[in-house]
Structure formats: C-alpha cells, structure tokens
C-alpha cells in the first residue's frame, strides 16, 4: 500500500470516529431545561404594566408587575397571538368596599376630571359565570374597564360590562355611570347604557328564565376594543369590534344631569325600586375629585343571597370558596387582553 492510500484510510477512520461520537452524543443529549428567561410574562405582552398595581383573586395587592405571573389569576397565553389572562372566581378575597372578587389593574397615577387622561384596551371575554339569578342585573357579568374615584364616596363614574346569560351564544356590552350621591351614599345607583346588546336593566322574570338573546351582541372569544378619554371634564367612550357598528358616547363628569328627583331616569325607578335607591347627585358630579383607571376582570357574580340586594347579590354557586371546584364548574370569569395603553394629560397650569 502506498503512502497516499495510507493517508486516505487514516482520514476516513477519523471521520467515521467523529460521526460515531456525534451520534452517541446526540442520542444521549437531553433538551435543555427552560430557564426563567424563556418565560413570557404579562409585562412582556403589555409593557405599560409599570403604570399599575394589581389586585388578584386571592386578595393580594402587588405594585411591581415586572415579570409577575400567577398560575391561577394572571398569566400569559398564546392562541396564535400573545394575551394576558385575567381570571377570578365567584368567591374569593374581596376588597374592603366590594362583595366581588377581581383580578384587576389599578392605575398608580391620580387625576381629576378637569385634567383627565386616556385608557385603551383590546380584549376578548372567554368566560363569565354560568350560575346566578336571572332577576339580578349583575349576574353573569364582568367589568372589563373602570374609572374609580379615590375621594368622597369613592364611587365609580364608569364601569364597562360584558354580560352573557347561560345558553346564549351572544352577550352584551354596556357601560354604567354611578352617581356621586348628594348626601347619604346608600341611595346611589347606576344608570346603564347599551353598546351592543342590552343594558344592565334587561333581566329575567324569575331566577331561571332569561330574556331573548341579543341580536347584535358579542360572543365569548370575540375581540373588541374600547377607548376611555377624559378631557376638560368630558368623558368620551369609543367601542370597536369587527362586524359591529362603532359606538361613541359622551358624558360630563363635572356637571350632573341628576340633580333633582324629577331627573332620575325611569330605568332607575324600575330596576332599583325594590332596594329603595332613589338618590340625587351633587350638581358638579365628580368635579375636583381624584380619579384613576382600572382594567382587567372584576367579577360581578357573587354568592350573596338575592334577598339582600336584588340588583347586585347574584346568589351564584361558589362551592364554599373552593377555587379548583369553582374553576372546574364554571363559577368564574376570564378575560384576555392583548393591548392596552394609558395617556396622562398635563394640567393646563403646567403647559
């Protein structure tokens, strides 16, 4: 055998050996364990979370949302797009002024209606409670956006709702204005305005009989967007969803339309008569009061007996507060957001 043949044999042997080693190494190689950096957090999907705190369904209040997730209440998911999931049961730990659970953001910054600001959100509601009482206006609903007062009675000049009766394919989007009650706040009420579908006052004749399904409603899993803009005391609401008419509404937050008993809408006399709420509002409404935005899933279905409040106590199934059982049996609400933003206005004195 000549010298060149020996060289060729040597090179061939080296290549074969290398291939065998690589093959063995590949066979025994385990996929790397995902590290924390592989996780997609809600703050990666909606980076504006640094402008919020959050209240979770177990009552925890957390101010630093960077790289925060909770497998039961607040986490990332992907169905071809990235979403932030807000989920909460019918029964859990509630805030001091509410009987309802929430996984909901609360804006850190405060502003007056005269200064205002803008909140936007793109979302789809994936689930609302399947238990409740059809006579109770709050049953089967979730609040997906709010303006909340941080002074005075601490009422809510805006709550945006999604509500769907069991067995219906489509639900309703409506928004409520709660009066800033003059005097005793026990007389407060919400006036409800339909966006798509019904307003809050459309209820069933008995606990288990539902009204007809709204023809122009929104189905679970159907994407929609809203914008809440407050400028110089005027709130402008815009709602958009593919296949639906764009809806826009305006409401003054600094000049009341409900100063006298004669100003109270018929909807209020009908819906709130049973619980005696017939208050009037301060003439300047929420003028000068500090406000803040809220966004997420504020579950409006609870386990309180409807006899205690036929408007807000929904008598839903809560499985004695057992979280796993509530999630397994439809006693929860779940909302997915994929986009959101806040614009803070500058006071005129600083311009």
**Average pLDDT, rounded, for the chain:** 91
pLDDT at 64 over 50: yes
| 3-state secondary structure (DSSP) of residue 78 | strand
Q: Residue 38: what pLDDT?
A: 83
Q: Residue 11: what pLDDT?
A: 42
- Backbone φ, ψ for residue 233 (5° rounding): 85, -5
Residues of the chain with pLDDT > 90, as a percent, come to 85
The DSSP H or E segment spanning 287 is: none
41-346, what's its fold? Answer: Jelly Rolls (2.60.120)
Give buried/exposed letters for 287-321 (b at 16+ CB in 10 A, else e).
bebbbbbbbbbbbbbbbbebeebbbbbbbbbbbee
**How far is residue 140's CA from residue 171's CA, in Å, rounded to a whole number?**
10
Q: What is the pTM of this model?
A: 0.89
**Stretch 194-207: mean pLDDT, rounded?**
98
If we measure between CA atoms, which residue out of 351, 342, 350, 334 comes closest to residue 120? Answer: 342
- Write the CA distances from 124 to 151, 162, 222, integer angstroms: 31, 10, 6
Q: Residue 37: what pLDDT?
A: 55
Q: Match 């002024």 to its residue by tokens.
A: 97
pLDDT at 232 over 70: yes
Q: Match 């989007």 to its residue by tokens.
A: 173
pLDDT at 297 over 70: yes
Contact predicate 258/272, CB 8 Å: no
């Amino acid at each position: 055998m000549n010298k060149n043949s020996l060289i060729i044999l040597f090179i061939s042997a080296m290549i074969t050996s290398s291939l065998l080693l690589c093959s063995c190494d590949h066979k025994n190689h385990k996929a790397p364990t995902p590290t924390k950096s592989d996780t997609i957090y809600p703050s990666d999907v909606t980076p504006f979370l640094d402008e919020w705190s959050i209240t979770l369904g177990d009552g925890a209040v957390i101010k630093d949302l960077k790289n925060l997730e909770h497998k039961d209440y607040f986490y990332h998911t992907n169905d071809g797009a990235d979403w932030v999931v807000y989920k909460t049961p019918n029964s859990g730990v509630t805030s001091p002024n509410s009987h309802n659970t929430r996984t909901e953001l609360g804006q850190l910054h405060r502003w007056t209606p005269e200064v205002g600001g803008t909140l936007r959100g793109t979302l789809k509601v994936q689930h609302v409670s399947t238990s409740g009482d059809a006579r109770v206006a709050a049953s089967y609903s979730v609040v997906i956006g709010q303006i909340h007062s941080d002074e005075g009675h601490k009422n809510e000049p805006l709550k945006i709702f999604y509500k769907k009766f069991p067995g219906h394919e489509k639900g309703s989007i409506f928004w409520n204005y709660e009066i800033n009650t003059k005097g005793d706040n026990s007389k407060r009420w919400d006036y409800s305005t339909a966006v798509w579908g019904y307003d809050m006052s459309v209820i069933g004749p008995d606990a288990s009989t539902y009204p007809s399904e709204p023809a122009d409603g929104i189905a679970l899993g159907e994407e929609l967007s809203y914008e809440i803009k407050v400028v110089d005391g005027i709130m402008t609401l815009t709602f958009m969803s593919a296949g639906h008419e764009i809806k826009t509404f305006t409401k003054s937050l600094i000049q009341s339309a409900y100063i006298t008993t004669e100003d109270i809408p018929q909807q209020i006399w009908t819906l709130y008569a049973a619980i005696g709420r017939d208050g009037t509002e301060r003439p300047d409404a929420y003028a000068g009061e500090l406000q803040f935005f809220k966004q997420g899933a504020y579950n409006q279905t609870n386990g309180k007996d409807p006899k205690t409040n036929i408007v807000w106590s929904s008598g839903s199934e809560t499985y004695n507060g057992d979280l796993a059982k509530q999630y397994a049996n439809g006693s929860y609400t779940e909302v997915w957001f994929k986009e959101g933003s806040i614009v803070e206005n500058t006071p005129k004195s600083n311009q």
